[in-house]
Structure 1
Amino acid sequence: MFENLTAFFLHWAITGVSLWIASLVFSKGLKFDSSGSLIISALLLGFANAIVKPLLIVLTLPLTLLTFGLFLLVINALVLLLVAFFVKGFKVSGFWTAVFASLFISILSIIIGGFFVGGTPDTTIQMPSGGTWL
């Protein structure tokens, strides 16, 4: 039951560090009032990326295809703005800040994850095999 807990905490920490560095880079547009709001934002951003973002991608697939995938940047920004809306103490100044910050957070998470997550079974979140999903 707890096999994937280490990988979950590692991904959560990577997201939190990426958000923190992004708040330093975009100091006027991305702000956290406390470390608690940073931790909650990292957790909620992970859940939003896992649940809300795939739904938005499927619902906007024609628009994404029409724009050759550039609409995915808008979806990333909307997910970041959604998290900022729900977390008290996390502020994003505007849409364009959210676009550039989400792009920065994504790239930084990939880079940091490359150092810590080597693709080993210990650090990869495994889905149960077999059975039916629906």
Structure 2
Amino acid sequence: MVGLLITWLVTTVSFLILSKLPLGVEIDSFGKAAFSAAVFGILNALVRPVLTILSFPFILVTFGLFMVIVNAIIFGLAAWLVTGFRLRWGIWSAILGSIALEIVNSILFHILSKLNL
């Protein structure tokens, strides 16, 4: 349970960081970022496996690079579902945002692992 809360908080902070970068991702407040992180996590748990199975031939042919598109779809769905979370440039913001989210999450989790949390 603690791991889930830490992941949610890290993703919330990542969303706030993304909103400050020139990627076309706009989030109104910390509350909206927290809600967006929760929706993103739920979509990752429920929708991502279905999309991965349906797009498996494309993932196989592109040696996994199509997963960027799957992640962008999840990112875009989260933006569509949450009021106050917008993608200024549509799919391009979703692609850039999903890539940047993975990078920022990786950096933050690396920092947390160094702190032994």
- What is the TM-score when the length of structure 1 is the normalising length? 0.79
Out of 92, 101, 106, the residue aligned to residue 105 of structure 1 is 101
Q: Tell me which amino acid in the other structure corresponds to 1:104.
A: A
SS at match of 1:91: strand
Q: Mark the runs of 5 or more structure 1 residues left unpaired by the alignment.
A: 124-134
CA distance in 2, matches of 1:37, 1:14: 14
Q: How do 1:31-110 and structure 2 match up within 5 A?
A: 31-93=26-88, 94-110=90-106
Q: Is the 8 A contact 2:16 2:30 kept in 1?
A: no
Q: Mark the runs of 5 or more structure 2 residues left unpaired by the alignment.
A: none
1:97-126: per-residue Cα shift (whole Å, max 9, x none)?
1111110101111121122247x8xx7xxx
Deviation of residue 34 (structure 1)? 2.6
CA distance in 2, matches of 1:35, 1:16: 8
Q: Segments of 4+ in structure 1 off by > 2 A? A: none
Q: Is the 8 A contact 1:26 1:101 kept in 2?
A: no
CA distance in 1, matches of 2:26, 2:96: 14
CA distance in 1, matches of 2:51, 2:113: 27
Q: Tell me which amino acid in the other structure corresponds to 1:113.
A: F
SS at match of 2:73: helix
Percent of aligned pairs sharing the same letter: 34
CA distance in 1, matches of 2:31, 2:108: 22
Q: Which residue is 1:126 aligned to?
A: none
Count, aligned residues: 115
Q: Is the 8 A contact 1:64 1:71 kept in 2?
A: yes
| Alignment RMSD | 1.7
1:1-48: per-residue Cα shift (whole Å, max 9, x none)?
xxxx21111000010111111111136x11112322111001111111
